[in-house]
Amino acid sequence: MAYNVSLPGPGPWGFRLQGGKDFNMPLTISRVTPGSKAAQSSINQGDVVVAIDGVNTDGMTHLEAQNKIKSASYNLSLTLQKSK
């Protein structure tokens, strides 16, 4: 199931990524920091990051995705796919 979250900025948002085009792996949430903004949202470890601020992550390397997330200051809008 795909869903959208909007985290109120500024960061840190409180999650880590793994994967990306350069790893031939979908971009996924590898860790959610307890008590963080991400933890207070519906984001869970294992969820796939489909889009960042409306931009599809299909062609993004790990670093490109990370930089796009870091460049968000007001809020961070993510489209995710639940792993379970």
Q: What are the residues binding ligand LEU (CB under 6 A)? A: 11-17, 66, 69-70
* Smallest distance from ligand LEU to CB 27, Å: 9
* Smallest distance from ligand LEU to CB 2, Å: 19
For ligand LEU, the closer CB: 4 or 71: 71
Element (H, E) at 65: helix 62-71
Give every CB contact of residue 23 below 8 A, 6+ residues apart in sequence: 62
* Smallest distance from ligand LEU to CB 65, Å: 7
The burial of 64, by beta-carbon neighbours within 10 Å (0-12 exposed, 13-18 middle, 19 or more buried), is given as: middle
